[in-house]
Structure 1
Amino acid sequence: MTLSFDGPILVPVATPEDGERTAAALAPYLTDSSRAIVVNVIEKAGGAPDKAGVEQREEYAEEIFDRARGPLEATDATIETEVLYGTDVVERIFAEAEDREVDAVVFAARKGNRLAELLTGDVARRMVKEAAIPVVALPHDES
Structure 2
Amino acid sequence: MSLTFDGTVLVPVADPDDGERTAAALAPYLSPSSTVLVVNVIEKAGGAPDKASVEQREEYAQEIFERTRGPLEGRDGTVETAILFGTDVVETIFEAALERDVDAVVFEPRDGSRFVELLTGDTARRLVKEASVPVVALPRNDG
Residue 80 of structure 1 is matched in structure 2 by 80
- Helix, strand or coil at the partner of 1:51: coil
Shift of 1:105: 0.1
Residue 12 of structure 1 is matched in structure 2 by 12
Question: TM-score if structure 2 supplies the norm length?
Answer: 0.98
In structure 2, list runs of 5 or more residues that go unmatched. none
- Helix, strand or coil at the partner of 1:75: coil
In structure 1, list runs of 5 or more residues that go unmatched. none
Find the aligned partners of 2:39 and 2:141 in 1 and give their Cα distance. 22
Residue 30 of structure 2 is matched in structure 1 by 30
Shift of 1:141: 2.3
Find the aligned partners of 2:132 and 2:86 in 1 and give their Cα distance. 18
Question: TM-score if structure 1 supplies the norm length?
Answer: 0.98
Find the aligned partners of 1:45 and 1:141 in 2 and give their Cα distance. 32
Instruction: Work out the number of aligned pairs and report it.
Output: 143
Contact kept in structure 1, 2:24 and 2:141, CA below 8 Å: no
Residue 130 of structure 2 is matched in structure 1 by 130
Find the aligned partners of 1:18 and 1:106 in 2 and give their Cα distance. 13
Residue 65 of structure 1 is matched in structure 2 by 65
Find the aligned partners of 1:52 and 1:136 in 2 and give their Cα distance. 31
Report % sequence identity: 71
